[in-house]
Amino acid sequence: MEYILETRNLTKVYGRHKAVDSVSLHVRRGDIYGLIGRNGAGKTSVMKMITGLSKPSEGDFSVFGQRGTGSEMYMQRIGALIENTGIYPNMTAYENMKMKSIAMGVRDKKEAANLLKLVGLSDTGRKKVKNFSMGMKQRLGIAMALIGSPDIVILDEPINGLDPQGIAEVRETIERLNRERDMTFIISSHILEELSKISTSYGIINDGVLIREMTREELLAECSERIELKTDDTARACAVLDSMGIENYKVTDASTVNIFERLDGSGDITMALAQAGVKTLGITVRNEGLEDYYLSLTGGAKNV
């Protein structure tokens, strides 16, 4: 499958600190890719590398299937909002938009005004950006990232500073652009619940390492209620489950089988395994929220 953006062992070292360690992520066209990680996990560093703001220490990335110098001509197809919004405080919202439009050679004179309307800033007039609220500045940053109708939009913590209505509006805007203009989004956040409402794919990053990549369906499956069976022989255990008529199960590693049906049948399953001579090392019913799942992956709970 060709990915619209793909990184290959992307690494970034600052002095002796490895901020990003061999990250290989895969973003398909039309995805809303949620990059999840706590503060300092390496999300922004990854985004800076794929937007050309910093050079990787090792590894590379491809955009539209092109790597290295071949990808350079596609960099203008990427719009980005990285960290705080980069705007001139003594200019108006329109003037800030106009400058980037000029730099990108955007000929449509109405684009800046249309984008400001899209993010709800059309009424700011001659108000200088220094007098904007944090939420208004954030929305202006998102509008700036959309100049030139990019194919890929990278948003670093876009809902920072927004009130619930603002968050809902940003979410709705992203979904609409994704649906109507087939824009691909890469969004980083540490607010998992918000990401879960919008993302179609996820990358979980911790201490600079990409721990898991999964689709929304896979994540829901991971988080849904199930029986977690620990055994020393998963192959024979699966045969026993098949003989019991249990079809909805998944082997997740060498000693674990997750069973998604007959959630009240732990006793029956244990007895059937025993009769077949399969040792049961442990059997529990689990139900994880997204946050719990994330914490279990990253070991974050022990730090609480």
Partner 1 sequence: MFNLIKMDLYRLAHSKVTWVILIFVIGIGIFATKMTDYDIETMKQEMETGTYVDDMISGEVEPGSIAVVPDEEWASGKVEAGSMVSSQVESRILLIFITVFTVLFVNAKQKNGYIKNIAGLFPKREKLVIAEALVVAFQVLLMMITFILTILICGKVFWGEGFYMGDFSAFVKFSAVQYLLHLGFAMIMFFLCQLTRSSALSITAGMIIATGMTTIIYALINRGISGVDSLKDFDITKYVIENNITATGVASADGDMVRAFVTAAVFTVLFTGLAAFFMRKRDIR
Does 241 bind partner 1 (CB under 8 A)? Our answer is no
CA 181/CA 184 separation, integer angstroms: 9
How many other β-carbons are positioned within 10 Å of the β-carbon of residue 129? 20
Tokens matching residue 93: 């919202």
Taking the complex as a whole, how short is the minimal distance between the CB of residue 293 and partner 1, in angstroms?
33
Whole-number Å distance between alpha carbons of 187 and 178: 13
Of 32, 36, 144, 170, the residue at the interface with partner 1 (CB under 8 A) is 144
11, 44, 85, 184: which one binds partner 1 (CB under 8 A): 85
Backbone angles phi, psi at 31, to 5 degrees: -70, 150
* Count of residues of this chain found to bind partner 1 when the rule CB under 8 A is applied: 32
The long-range contacts involving 110-113, CB below 8 angstroms and separated by at least 24 positions, are 111/147, 111/148, 112/147
Q: Select from 93-101, 116-124, 255-263, 277-285 the region that touches partner 1 (CB under 8 A).
A: 93-101
Distances (CA, A) of 287 to 34, 85, 120, 175: 22, 39, 39, 28
Distance from C-alpha of 134 to C-alpha of 130, rounded to nearest angstrom: 10
Find tokens 């940053």 and name the residue.
Answer: 141
Minimum distance of partner 1 from residue 102's CB (angstroms): 4
Tell me how far apart the alpha carbons of residues 201 and 197 are, in angstroms, rounded to a whole number: 11
Among 18, 43, 48, 226, binds partner 1 (CB under 8 A): 48
Candidate list 10, 32, 35, 87; residue touching partner 1; CB under 8 A: 87
Is residue 53 close enough to count as binding partner 1 by CB under 8 A?
yes
Nearer to partner 1, 50 or 192 (CB): 50
Judged by CB under 8 A, the residue of 67, 72, 181, 217 near partner 1 is 72
Q: CB of 88: closest distance to partner 1 in angstroms?
A: 5
Q: How far is the CB of 172 from partner 1 (least distance, A)?
A: 24
Looking at the Cβ atoms of 72 and 217, the one nearer to partner 1 is 72
Residues of this chain, 94-133, that bind partner 1 according to CB under 8 A: 95-96, 98-100, 102-105
Question: 18 near 46, Cβ under 8 Å?
Answer: no
Binding positions for partner 1, rule: CB under 8 A? 48, 51-55, 69, 72, 75-76, 78, 80, 82-91, 95-96, 98-100, 102-105, 144
